[in-house]
Amino acid sequence: MNHTLQIRVVSKDEELQDALTVRRLVFIEEQEVPEDLEIDEHDTLSSPTIHFVAYQGDTPVGASRLRTYQPGVGKIERVAVLGSTRGTGLGRAIMEFMEETARANGYAKVKLNAQCHAQGFYEKLGYVPYGDIFDDAGIPHIAMEKVFSE
């Protein structure tokens, strides 16, 4: 059995469906986010959004997406890791892969809206919170950003 971990930029529909499966399990089933709030117009291969999927062997275990927020600023969204692979470093690996992709796409900084319980995870990766806590889909969130150094 192949347990190799691989993170990829989604390039075909099958990979996008795998990413959406992970997001459904984490956000819709586990966290009870309504599907119409979770899956949106950015979740197609034809949108300019960059989707990511992580596999352990052939099994999708993580997902995320990156899109342009404003010129030079990327927005990291929908970072999801299956419960069975939390605490293994997969979330960090996905974030580092996304940041490399963001830099390669010319973003000078990235922002995200973190669920408050995950704020410490993002702070360890260099993200700085700003603004007030707000509700998104019934879950408290905080805006955070990271400026890339030259």
- What pLDDT, on a 0 to 100 scale, did the predictor assign at position 1? 41
Distance of CA 91 to the CA centre of its chain: 9
- What pLDDT, on a 0 to 100 scale, did the predictor assign at position 150? 67
Mean pLDDT for the chain overall:
95
Q: List C-alpha distances in Å: 35 to 21, 23, 31, 67, 122.
A: 12, 10, 11, 20, 25
Amino acid type, 4: T
Mean pLDDT of the region 33-52: 95
Count CB neighbours of 117 within 10 A.
9
Q: Summarize pLDDT for 77-112 with one digit per residue, the tens.
A: 999 999 999 999 999 999 999 999 999 999 999 999
Instruction: Give the containing element (helix H, strand E) for 60.
Output: strand 59-70
Distance of CA 43 to the CA centre of its chain: 12
d(CA 144, CA 129): 4
Q: CATH number for the domain including 132?
A: 3.40.630.30
The whole domain housing 14 covers: 5-147
**Number of domains making up the chain:** 1
Q: Summarize pLDDT for 120-135 with one digit per residue, the tens.
A: 999 999 999 999 999 9
Q: What angle do CA 85, 25, 114 make, to 5 degrees?
A: 75
